[in-house]
Structure 1
Amino acid sequence: MDWKIELIFVPVTDVDRAKAFYVDALGFSADHDASPGDGVRFVQCTPPGSACSIAFGTGLTEMAPGSQNGIQVVVPDADAALARLEAAGVAAEGVLDLDWGRFVSFADPDGNRWTLQELPDHAAARRAAD
């Protein structure tokens, strides 16, 4: 049986500001924006190339805005990701080089923290060791 993570909730204070950040600044796809009932607004966005989306809105989660601190996304090139964030006006920290990857971190307007990881090329390391 496969278990697939397809949706992560990101708690925000201002839904329109969050949508502008994720869609306009980060380039996420705006998949859904609906108000299915009183006090509920559901916005779903997907990072480019991802099978997992994020959701935010009103009436969706008990988490405090800015409390999501564990979303990690794999990117092909940490330097390019940092340059893309900076070009979009997003304050980012990086590139941090570690044995298990290269990392860039940033926060959304509410303080929800994201980490972008460029995976190490294990095949190249094995070839170099041979």
Structure 2
Amino acid sequence: MLALEVVPLPVADVDRALAFYVGQAGFTLDVDYGPTPHFRIVQLTPPGSACSVHLVAADSHSRVHDLCLVTSDLEAERAKLIDRGADVSAVRHKDPVETWAGGWSMGLDPEHRDYASFADFADPDGNTWILQERSHRAR
């Protein structure tokens, strides 16, 4: 068995990124350990996830793109992010889903099919995240 447990996430300012991920994205702070001025480990976990991110101070402009966060209620999770101040794109869905070749329509997939509806956001450093809906439960 192999499990992806931690993904390094390059950021220019660890404290600014930490404030974004805890305050706006709603991640849980697992570890903030800095025994010396030149060594610090900051690990956060998205709500409900088994995989965490390490904030890694990086001077380069390299960023991670299209990290996926899966939710059973895309509208609710998008609203939470927006309420906390995150800039989240409008929801879009694959169109047509059955023979999808890259086309999109605005809004949720009317049938809430798995992996058909998406929204995006970025952190202050330009790392990008995709929200996608799977296993939707009607209320």
The answer to whether the 8 A contact 2:11-2:17 is kept is yes
AA in 1 matched with 2:132: Q
Answer whether contact 2:72 2:135 (CA < 8 A) is retained. Answer: no
Letter of the 1:20 counterpart:
A
**Pairing 1:114–2:129 present:** yes
- Name structure 1 gaps, 5 residues minimum: 122-130
Corresponding position of 1:43: 42
1:57-91: CA deviations, max 9, x gaps? 33xxx683561103111011111122111111111
Equivalent pairs counted in the alignment come to 117
> Is the CA contact (8 Å cut-off) linking 1:66 and 1:111 kept in structure 2?
no
TM score, norm. by length of structure 2: 0.76
Gaps of 5+ in 2: 98-114
Structure 1 equivalent of residue 2 of structure 2: 3
Task: State the SS of the aligned residue for 2:89.
Answer: strand
Letter in 2 for 1:113: T
| Match of residue 60, structure 2, among 35, 57, 64 | 64
Q: Quick check: 1:81 aligned with 2:77?
A: yes
8 Å contact from structure 2 (residues 26, 81) kept in 1: no
84-93 or 28-37, which deviates more: 28-37
Equivalents in 2 of 1:24, 1:105: separation in Å? 17
Q: Is the 8 A contact 1:102 1:117 kept in 2?
A: yes
Structure with a larger share of its residues in helix: 1
Percent of counterpart pairs with the same letter?
40
Provide TM-score, normalisation by structure 1: 0.80
Cα separation, 2, equivalents of 1:63 and 1:95: 33
The one-letter code of the counterpart of 2:44 is C
CA RMSD of the aligned region, Å? 1.9
